[in-house]
Structure 1
Amino acid sequence: MVVKTAIATRQPIAIDRILTGTVESSEAVTLTSRVMGQIRQLTVREGDIVQAGQRIAEIDVRDIQAQQQQATAAIPQAQSAVSIAHSAKLTAQAQKSQAQARVQEAQAQLTEAQAELADAQLHQQRMVMLRREGAVSQSRLDEANTRLSVIQARISQAKAGLTQSRTTVRQAQAAVVQAQAQIRQAQAQVEQAQAQVKQTQANLDYGTVIAPFTGVIRHKYTEVGAMAGPGESIVKLERSGHLRLSVDAPESLVGQIQRGKSVLVQIDALNRQIAGRINQIIPAADPRSRNFTVKIALKPNQDLLPGMFGRLQFSSITRQNAAARQGLMIPEDAIVKQFGITGVFKVVGQQAQFNPITTGQIEGKTVEVYSGLERGDRIIVNPSPKLENGTALQVS
C-alpha cells in the first residue's frame, strides 16, 4: 500500500494564558443631588432602561422657592435705593452749583470793596490834612472817616461770605461724592439680588435629576422620603451598547498585548465568543500583584450585559519559554481511533504498526504527543481505513 508519511519532531509550543475579567460599561456616571431636600419622587428601579433627558428623581425645593421669592422682592427695594441715591446726587450737585455762584458773587463784592477802599483811604487822608489847615469842617472829615469804616466793614463781610461760600462748596462736593458712593452701593445690592435670583433658579432646576444619556440603571442608592444633600449619590447610570471587558494582565504579557489588536472574548453566560478590540492599556501596575489593567472594547450585542464573566486567551512563544516548553508534534491527520483507542500507524520495517498514544495541546494542524512515540518516528498521514497491522508499505 502506498502511504504518505511524516516525522514526529520536537517543536516549541505556545503557552496559553487565560485572562479573566468582567464586562462593564465603558461610560458610567453616578447621579447625585446638588441641593438639600427630601426626595419626593424616584421613578426608576435597578435594571430600568432610561432615555437621555428622562426625569430620574424629584427633590423638594420649597425652601429654595422661598429664598427666590425673598431675593425677587429685594430687587425693587435695591432699585428704589438707587433712585434715592441719584436724587441725592442731583440735590448735592445743585447745592454745589449755588455755592459756587455765591463764591463768585462774594469774590466780586470783595474786589469792588477793595477798589473803593483805596479811594476812601486817599480821600480820608486828604480830609485830615485839610482839617489841620482849617480848610474843611470837622463834618467833612467825619464823613470821610465814616465812609472808610463802611468800606472796611463791607470788605470784612465779603471775606466772611467768601469763606462761608467756599465751605458750602466743599460740603456740597462731599455730598456729591457720598451720593455717588451710595449709588454704587445700591447698584451692587441690585446686582446681588439679581444674582441671588439666578442662583435660586439654578438650584430649583437642580431639584430635578435627569439622565444625561440613554442607559441602564445599575444601582439605586436611596428611596423616596429620604433626605438628599449636595454630592449624595442617588442612582448609578451606565450607557447602553458601549461595553468592554476589563482584565488584569501580568507584567510578563504586557509586552505582547498590542493596542488595536482584534481578539475574541469567551462569554460563558452566552456560551459564545464576542469580537473585541484592545483599546486601552493602563500603564500603571498594581504594586502588589504586578498586574496591568487591559480594556477590550466589545462589539455591540443585545444579549451582552454588564457584570458578565469573560475570558480572554493569549498564546505566546518567546525565546525564554520556547526552550522550556518543547513538545513532540505530529500532524493531526495522522491520528486514528481503533476500538476506542487513540493512536497512529507507525512505519516499522516497511510495515504498518498501530501505536496507541496520549495526546496533548493542539497547535494549528499539529498535535502534541505525550506518550507512545519517540522523536524521529515515521507515521502515516491520512491512513486508509483498510490499513492494518503488518500491512506492507511503500512510502511516498
Structure 2
Amino acid sequence: MATERDELRDRLDRATAHLDPPYAVVDLTAFDANATALAGRAGGKPLRLASKSVRSRELTRRALDTPGWRGIMAFTLAEAIWLARSELTDDVLVAYPTVGRGSLGELTADAALAETVTLMVDDVAQLDLVDDVQPADRRPEIRVCLDLDASWRPLGGRVHVGVRRSPVHTAQAAATLAATVAGRPGFRLVGLMAYEAQIAGLGDAPPGQATLGAAIRFTQRRSYRELLHRRSAVVAAVRDLADLELVNGGGTGSVAATSADPSITEITAGSGLYGPTLFDGYRAWRPTPAAFFACSVVRRPDPTVATVLGGGWIASGPAAASRLPTPWLPEGLTMIGAEGAGEVQTPLTGPGAAGLHLGDRVWFRHAKAGELCERVNDLHLVDGDEVVATVPTYRGEGRAFL
C-alpha cells in the first residue's frame, strides 16, 4: 500500500518530469498551510516574516498576503533597502547591527527609506557610525530598535544557555542604552527585540535521544520563566523613555509560547513556511515539509548503493549530522558515513536504494529553510502534480547578502 510519502514522490516526479535536476521546488499547498497554521498559533499577535528563511521575493509576498502576517525582518541593511524599494511592505526591521557605510549612506539619504526601515542596535558605537556617515542635522531621523540578549545565565552567570548576541542583558543596561538613544538627535527609539534562540531555535524532541530531549525541555522551561520576568522589566523600563511601536520575540519554534508573553507585541517566524528537517525535532508544532530539492541518480556502484550527482547542500551551524540534507523520497535512504553529502556526488544506501535506476530523482530536504535558495536560481512552485510558476530566489535575481 502506498504511503503519503510515496504519493508525494509520485506527485513531485510528475510535476517536474520536464526538468533536469538539480532543482528546488516548493509545494504551495504545504507552504500555505504552514503560513496559516503559524498565524493561528500567534494568539492574535502579528507575525513578522524572517526574510532570510524564505529568500524569494515572490514567496515573501505570498506569505505576507496570508492573514496574520505583517512586516519583514531582514538580515542585512542592504537586503532591507532592496525589499523596501520592492514595495513588499512599509515596515522592515533589520535583525542585526549594521556597519556597512554604503548601505547607511543610502538609508540616510532617503527620507522614505528612513521611515520604512528600522535599524538594530546594542551599542552606542553603532549610533556613532550612523552620524559619521551622515550627521543628524543633514539626514532624516533614523528608526532604532534595541536588541536585548535573551540567553539564560543561571548560577550567577557561570552558565550561558543560548546564543551570544547583544551585550544588553538587564533592565538597567537596556534603560541606559534607551536613554542614550532617546536623548540623541537624529534617532527615534521605536522598538525592542529579544530572540530566545535556546527556545525558538532548539528542538525539544531530538529523534532517538529521549534523555537529551528531557534535559532540553527542562532547560527551556526554566529559561522561559526567567525571560518572562526579565523581558517584562526591560520593556517597562524602556517604555518610560520611549513610545515603543513594537516588542519583538520568538521564532518558528516558539510562536505560541512567545505570544503568551504579555510584553510581546509581535513574533518573528519564517523557517516554518518551508518546514526544514531541523524542525522535525519539535513537540509543540511541526510544519508540513514544503521545500525540496531533487538530484539525479547517475551511477550504481553496486546493487546496494545509488549515487546521485551533487547533494552536498550543507546548513550553517555546528558541524554535525543535523546540518546535512536528508534524502527524503523515496523512503529508506541513508548517506554513507565515510562520504556524507558530497559537492559532486552523494552515494546513498538503505532499503530504498535497490529500486533506484539511472535518471531517477532522489528528493532531499534541507536542514534549514532559506539557505536552500543559495544553491538555486529558481524555485518551481508545485500545486498538485503541476508546476504552476517558477520564481527567482535572491540568487536568481543576482542578490547575495551574506
TM-score bracket, normalised by the shorter chain, equals under 0.3
Q: Which has the higher contact order (CA 8 A, sep 6+)?
A: 1
Q: Which structure features the higher share of strand residues?
A: 1
